[in-house]
Amino acid sequence: YGSNKYWKERYGYHKRSLSETAMYRVKQLLGGRLSLRNYNAQVGETYAMIKALNKLTGLGMPETCRID
């Protein structure tokens, strides 16, 4: 295949890298394990983690406004 750039484009490496980084952030901030045993409870726990992560991400986003 010749170069890393071609390989990365062909196999979607950038998207994969972004998703792996996102999962690393989730695990570091919220813990790497689910504490509940029941599958439905784990789904709820996961949704709660995602909601918390989205809230934290939103707090770090800049507020933009149009300057005329």
What does each of the 68 residues of the chain score in pLDDT, given as a tens digit? 567 888 888 888 888 888 888 888 878 877 878 888 999 999 999 899 889 888 888 888 888 889 98
26-37 pLDDT, tens digit per residue, is 788 778 788 889
| Domain extent listing, the chain | 4-59
pTM: 0.55
pLDDT of residue 8: 81
State the pLDDT at residue 47. 92
Pairwise CA distance, residues 61 & 68, whole Å: 22
**Cα–Cα distance list, 42 to 3, 28, 29, 30 (Å):** 42, 18, 17, 14
Residue 45 neighbours by CB distance under 10 Å: 16
Measured at the CA of 46, the angle between CA 45 and CA 52, to 5 degrees, comes to: 90
